[in-house]
Amino acid sequence: MSVLGGHLLGLEPLGPWQIQALLDLAERAARGELEPDALRGRVVANLFFEPSTRTRLSFELAARRLGAEVVNFDPERGSVQKGESLVDTALTLQAMGADVLVLRHSSSGAPHLVARHVQCSVVNAGDGMHEHPTQALLDLLTVRQAFGRVAGLRVAIVGDVLHSRVARSAAWGFSKLGAEVVLCGPPPLVPADLAGPGIVVCHRLDEALEGADVVMALRMQRERQLGGFIPSLGEYHRLYAVTPERLRLARPGALVMHPGPMNLGVEVTPEVAYGDRSLVLRQVTNGVAVRMAVLYDLLTRRQAELDVRPVEPMVLVGRL
């Protein structure tokens, strides 16, 4: 049975069993247990309207490892430059036979809009300041592998939470699986309304790190900082950077994560980012397995539930 149904738009709407089932499937993908041609004849279209290295390339690798064809839509060269709407672009790719649209967009809610207009599956690869569900899944998988569990761990997510879709998806994912999430950063960069069951908000880094098993540093999102939220990057570094000294406040054996790309010397120091407590590259490796699991679930398990094939070509009648 399909875990996801039609789309993967976010982690907020998923239940713990769905998240666990995807992580189990990703473990199987990592062990090479999914049939290598499970997606033969299927088309995965990457539509990235914002820059990406890890997410785009790992979706591409994941699709190819399962035998799918991949097309990469380039907004710089596509007809969006001529005013074509996002929905028209999506419908065009669907009409060419795309079975999955992997969409990254600067507008929160863009994948939800597209999903209302297409029959094929939509995967949110990051929408504005909202969600980045496959990133959270790879974070969960990485932590589950490192600690053997997620429930009962204390996960400190530090930095520019306001602008971070990674933080939102991670907070929802980790708390749904029973971890205690602490969101920490300067008051203007941590919305108080994100607090909820299993999620607390604090503004002092020392407090957030106390007893933490996992410390996730977030990228300072300079491109989304329109409103002078912090006095300076130097000031930010002094108060919130994850440094070797600060890490001593966490539990012995605490591990460090970062979604990348990193601003070394701003939110994290190079010694921490590349030190022996860093999970950063393991996160990247797990990104491929998680995306294989998502594509596999959407494309091999829901055929009977939905017609994901493109519409028949129009038959032109009458005078041409």
**Residue ranges in contact with ligand NCD by CB under 6 A:** 54-55, 126, 132, 135, 165-166, 219, 221, 259-260
Nearer to ligand NCD, 10 or 126 (CB): 126
Q: How far is the CB of 164 from ligand NCD (least distance, A)?
A: 6
Nearer to ligand NCD, 166 or 194 (CB): 166
Q: How far is the CB of 96 from ligand NCD (least distance, A)?
A: 26
Tell me which residue has its CB nearest to ligand NCD.
219
Q: How many angstroms separate the CA atoms of 193 and 142, rounded?
A: 27
- Find the helix or strand (DSSP H, E) in which 102 lies: strand 100-105
Nearer to ligand NCD, 233 or 306 (CB): 233
Nearer to ligand NCD, 94 or 283 (CB): 283
Nearer to ligand NCD, 55 or 89 (CB): 55
Q: How far is the CB of 200 from ligand NCD (least distance, A)?
A: 22
How long is the chain?
320
Give the count of alpha carbons within 13 A of 55, CB side only: 27
What is the DSSP code (8-state) at residue 268? B
Q: How far is the CB of 55 from ligand NCD (least distance, A)?
A: 4
Secondary structure (DSSP) of 103-143:
EEESSTTHHHHHHTT-SSEEEEEEETTTB-HHHHHHHHHHH
Q: How far is the CB of 311 from ligand NCD (least distance, A)?
A: 32
Pick from 168, 186, 278, 167: nearest CA to 233: 186
> Rg for the chain (alpha carbons), in Å?
20
Q: Which residues contact 5 (CB under 8 A, 6 or more apart)?
A: 302, 305
